[in-house]
Amino acid sequence: MKYGWVAVLLLLFAGTGTYVWSHGSQVEPPDLGDGLRGQLVLTGSSTVAPLAGEIAKRFESLHPRVRIDVQTGGSSRGIADARRGTADIGMASRALKPKESDLVHHTIALDGISIILHRDNPATALTDPQIVAIYTGQIANWNQVGGPDAPITVVNKAEGRSTLELFLHHFKLKNQDIHASIVIGDNQQGILTIASDPYAIGYVSIGTASYEVSRGTKIRMLPMKGIEPSLDNVRNGTFPLSRPLNLLTHGEVSELAAAFIAFAQSPQVHDLVEAQYFVPIDQ
Amino acid sequence: MVWQPGRTDWPDRTVTVVVWLTALTVTGVFLWIVGDVLRHGLSGLSWGFLIEGPRDTGRAGGIGPMIVSTLLVLGVCLAVSVPIGVGTAVWLAEFARGGGLFGRLVRWSLDVLAGVPSIVFGLFGNALFCIYLGMGFSILSGGLTLACMVLPLLIRSCEAGLRAVPDDYRKAATALGLSRSAVLWRILLPAATPGLVVGLVLGIGRALGETAALLFTSGYVDRMPGSLMDSGRTLSVHIYDLAMNVPGGQNRAYATAIVLISLLLIVNVLTSHLADRWLHRRITRT
Amino acid sequence: MFRSTSDRLLLGLLRCVSALAAAVVMLIVIFLVIESWPALRSVGPLRFFTDPSWHPASAAGGGAGRFNLIPMLIGTLASTAGAVMLATPLGIASALFCRFYAPKRIATGYRRLLELLTGIPSVVFGLWGLLVLAPLIRQWHPPGQSLLAGVLILTVMILPTVALLSESSLNSVPRAYLRGAAALGLSRWATIRGVVLPAARGGIVTAVLLATGRAIGETMAVLMVAGNVVQVPHSVFDPVRTLTANIALELGYAMDIHRSALFVSGLVLMMMLAALIGLAEWIGGGRMNA
């Protein structure tokens, strides 16, 4: 009994170890005749990473001798790693800038950005000038745009985020001019913030927002210039605020990487893209 | 320790009330947070959830690979940090008491280390272990990075435990002609075990709850790890991803948090029992 | 003093191990300096304290970035100070509760609860703060996500560190002291104030220092509740951004000088911490080492 606990702990670790060992020394799966084998490393945007992980899993199941490791850490990491060769493929949730023309982008999906309010906010539409005025602090109360008498909680994104850049570009704003009450990072944080504040305004990814609306989260999407924010309108190009989700390569691309990129752009993964609430692209 | 109450007066009674109120408040906040986690996550728990791999970016399937990765990362972290931590603590408490430039430098750097933001640890671990030492995104890199992180907690609490050993013990042992190594093994370490256990508990808690440092070192891959050189997603990284990145992942995040908290409870109970056994054995032998 | 070779071997080994522990800090500092060098060279250290605001991203596009870290420095100091001021009395009271006030079973249960609190991932604290705490504060004074919310979340997170480490140092107060106090007929509180707390002082200072480090370094939970607006807060209801939140928010999306500037904020954070600890040691007059 004295050693009972030691035994339990050792068993726990030994069990894990044995499991890992037995899996590590597994017999190599049979070659299915396509000749693809080896390992790929993808790093970059946390928006793209979950989708890329799902695509990688499906690719692995089709090519058992291939292993694809998807890592995350932000678009800039994807660009830097692809350049340095630390990663075979980078991931970025934005279009490349002129300074980044040494990289080649491969778009795998589209995403749009929608203005959202709390569900109980009576405002049904805001014009572009009104949104600009709200974000620059000239309109600070909802009663100035026909709402209740309450101060507006302006939710902005953190510097460098592609959604912020897109938003600023569309409304021809500079980040210096924005008077934010709250600054957020990820989409999900924005949705939770706005769902818990009846007088907040913010902008997030359309896919995420429409999913949350369908689940009953207390947010509402506002049309932009009369166009409903929906994945369909992003797909047909009528919605003004959209961004590409890209895979990035630098220099020569290996056969395996090329095969994976082609797979990620093919209709074989459209269901995976839609399951992540993004818009698949048609090649 | 049974308290033999002496005289009581009004400050004494006031403090008693304050102390009890504090404990009740802290318990209340804890129950509030854990209740929140349980309310959202309990429905997602099942046997399959514990052993299966994740599907649909974690919205379906389970967290089996993450549990294994978490235990492996923790194992690497403790295997490295406990010997270094105890060694440093012994040196600080027994050989570098109070003075000495080197001793003060070590102590000061440890306190600074305790406040380095986890994301800086992550980037540092990525640069040193993953790239410079060529370990890549791996459980090994993650465990080593965490070891750096928990060192200050381990060392400072173990040191406090050692300092609390009365000097009479050391004098008596020296008078008996015991070598310092013997004093260390037979007397000092057993006496410092409670301090070390507190350090371990804090360190394990910190290690299990860590996200940012692991995102850049042990990585994001949710496959069952094949060896220590494989990348593996830990439970807390999974929770972060589900809560912040995956639309509709929130309830799964809470369910994973329940598993993580239960795991912590098991590891903590095991740690204190192991320490008790060890202490008991040492004392009965000496 | 060291007679046997095994003793000498032991001492050598211990010294190596300690040097290794200290080396980690040096390595991290070197790493931070290398990464922040481009920004320090092209922007200059002064501008991190004199620029009109924090808008570093335009530097990457060729424009003139602005790099003022002062508001975030103040944010970090304010949230840490608030949390430490709240968590220290609460933590010490919790430790006293475990040691002197609660029946044994309740004390064990309470200790277990504090241990669990240490291991809850910061994201979970953050979610709770975002969904429960911030809306409560908002009803009182908008926008809710504020310095106050950050302070409260940090308090909950560092409280176990203060409590558990203090308790272990209370435990190490020799029994003879307590018996002596009891023999003098001192009340419980008089014993604690006059005998126990002075004897456990060193351990409690260590506990508070480690907790301060944790509060300064904490990232995710603060990021989710503190509002993250770069400004000097005028009241506890104003949102603030801490240095750590700044790194976590922007690093994944920062390029070139912007990225390097974020490492400068890491360096500033460590220098601030080093100065604080030096100050604490100076005020403690080296007594915490005794």
Q: What is the ipTM of this complex?
A: 0.87
Kindly report the average pLDDT of chain B as a whole number: 87
Does the residue C175 lie in any domain? yes
Q: Please tell me whether residue A140 adopts helix, strand or coil conformation.
A: coil
In a domain, B57, yes or no: yes
Q: Identify whether C22 is part of a domain.
A: no
- Phi and psi at residue C149, to the nearest 5°: -60, -40
Closest CB to C259 among A76, A181, A197: A76
Residue B61 shares a structural domain with residue B97: yes
pLDDT in tens, B57-82: 888 899 999 999 999 999 999 999 99
Q: How many domains does chain C have?
A: 1
Q: B228 to chain C nearest CA, in Å?
A: 22
**A-chain residue closest to C57, CA distance:** A160
CA distance to partner chain C, nearest, from residue A148 (Å): 15
- Give the integer Cα–Cα distance in Å for C124 and C121: 6
Tell me the per-residue pLDDT of A124-139, one tens digit each, with 9 for 90 and over.
Answer: 889 999 999 999 999 9
Q: Higher pLDDT residue, B151 or C5?
A: B151
Q: Which of C254, C244, C223, C251 is nearest to C65 (CA)?
A: C254
Locate C73 and state its tokens. 């420095």
In a domain, residue C169? The reply is yes
Task: Specify if B184 maps to a domain.
Answer: yes
- What integer pLDDT is reported at residue C62 of this predicted model? 55
* Stretch A15-35: mean pLDDT: 52
Question: 3.30.420.40, 3.40.50.150, 3.40.50.2000, 3.40.190.10: which CATH number matches A112-235?
Answer: 3.40.190.10
Does position C81 have pLDDT exceeding 60, yes or no?
Answer: yes
What is the pLDDT at residue B165?
A: 81
**Average pLDDT of chain A?**
86
In a domain, B265, yes or no: yes
A112 touches chain C (CB under 8 A): no
Interface subset of C 95-154, CB within 8 angstroms of B: 96-97, 99-102, 110, 112-125, 127-128, 131-132
Q: Which of A71, A76, A206, A221 to mutate against chain B (most B CBs within 10 Å)?
A: A71
pLDDT digits (tens, 9 = 90+) for C83-136: 999 999 999 999 999 999 999 999 999 999 998 898 788 889 999 999 999 999
Q: Is residue B7 a part of any domain in this protein?
A: no
Residues of B numbered 153-192 whose beta carbons fall under 8 angstroms of chain A's beta carbons: which are they? none
In a shared domain, residues B128 and B258: yes
- Asked if the Cβ–Cβ distance from C160 to B205 is below 8 Å, we say yes
In chain B, which residues have their Cβ closer than 8 Å to the Cβ of A215? 248
**Of the ranges A7-16, B74-83, B177-186, C277-286, the best mean pLDDT one:** B74-83
Query: A77 to chain C: which residues are within 8 Å by CB?
Result: 252
What's the average model confidence in pLDDT over B73-98?
A: 89
Q: Using CA atoms, how far apart are residues A258 and A249, in angstroms rounded to an integer?
A: 9
Closest residue of chain B to A216, computed from CA coordinates: B248
Read off the pLDDT of residues C163-186 as tens digits, 9 standing for 90 and up. Answer: 999 998 898 888 888 899 889 888
pLDDT at C287 (0 to 100) = 46
**pLDDT band, very low/low/confident/very high, at C14 (cuts 50, 70, 90):** confident
Gap from C130 CA to chain A (nearest CA, Å)? 7
CB–CB of A279/A110 below 8 Å?
yes
CB atoms C112 and B152 under 8 Å: no
B-contacting residues of C 44-73, CB under 8 Å? none
Cross-chain Cβ contact C214/B22 below 8 Å: no
Q: What is the pLDDT of residue B112?
A: 86
Residue type, B102: F
Q: Does residue B32 sit in the same domain as residue B119?
A: no
What are the tens digits of pLDDT across the range B216-249?
899 899 999 989 999 999 999 999 999 888 888 8
In-domain check, residue B77: yes
The shortest CB-CB distance from B118 to any of C27, C160, C219 is to C219
What residues contact residue C62 under an 8 Å CB cut-off, 6+ apart?
A: none
CATH code, domain carrying C254: 1.10.3720.10
* The total number of structural domains that make up chain B: 2
Superfamily of domain A8-110+244-275: Periplasmic binding protein-like II (3.40.190.10)
State how far residue B142 is from chain C, nearest Cα, in angstroms. Answer: 15
The verdict on residue C237 lying in a domain is yes
Q: What is the pLDDT of residue C252?
A: 85
DSSP string computed for C254-282: --HHHHHHHHHHHHHHHHHHHHHHHHHHH
pTM score: 0.90
CATH of the domain at B113: 1.10.3720.10
Mutate one of B211, B221, B230 to test the A interface: name it (highest A CB count within 10 A).
Answer: B221
The closest alpha carbon to A275, from B57, B53, B49, B243, belongs to B57
Interchain CB distance below 8 Å, C217 and B16: no
pLDDT bin (cut points 50, 70, 90) of residue B115 is: confident
Does one domain contain both B40 and B125? no
**Does residue C37 belong to any structural domain of this protein?**
no
Residues B23 and B134 in one domain: no
The full 3-state SS of C156-171, as one line of letters, equals HHHHHHHHHHHHHHHH
Phi/psi zone of residue A205: left (φ > 0), alpha (ψ -120 to 50 degrees), beta? beta
Please give the C-alpha separations between residue C215 and each of B148, B259, C154, in angstroms, as whole numbers: 18, 26, 6
CB–CB contacts below 8 A, A to B: 90
**Based on the number of CB atoms within 10 Å of its own CB, is A108 exposed (0-12), middle (13-18) or buried (19 or more)?**
buried
Q: Are residues B118 and B31 in the same domain?
A: no
Same domain for B199 and B233, yes or no, is: yes
Domain range for residue B172? Answer: 47-285
Give the tokens for residue A6.
């030691």
Of the pLDDT bands very low, low, confident and very high (cuts 50, 70, 90), residue A207 is confident
Residue C244 falls inside a structural domain:
yes
B4 within some domain: no
Q: What is the 3-state secondary structure (H, E, C) of chain B?
A: CCCCCCCCCHHHHHHHHHHHHHHHHHHHHHHHHHHHHHHHHHHHCCHHHHHCCEEHHHCEECCHHHHHHHHHHHHHHHHHHHHHHHHHHHHHHHHCCCCCHHHHHHHHHHHHHHCCCHHHHHHHHHHHHHHHCCCCCCHHHHHHHHHHHHHHHHHHHHHHHHHCCCHHHHHHHHHCCCCHHHHHHHHHHHHHHHHHHHHHHHHHHHHHHCCHHHHCCCCCCCCCCCCCCCCCCCHHHHHHHHHHCCCCCHHHHHHHHHHHHHHHHHHHHHHHHHHHHHHHHHHHHC
CA C138 to CA A200: how far, in whole Å?
A: 11
* Assigned domain for B183 exists: yes
Residue at C199 is within a domain: yes
B270 close to A (CB below 8 A): yes
- Could you tell me if B20 and B160 lie in one domain? no
Other Cβ atoms less than 10 A from the Cβ of B178: the count is 16
Q: Within a domain: residue C47?
A: no
Q: Give the CA distances from residue C114 to residues B71, B258, C217, in Å, rounded to whole numbers and listed in that order.
A: 22, 16, 20
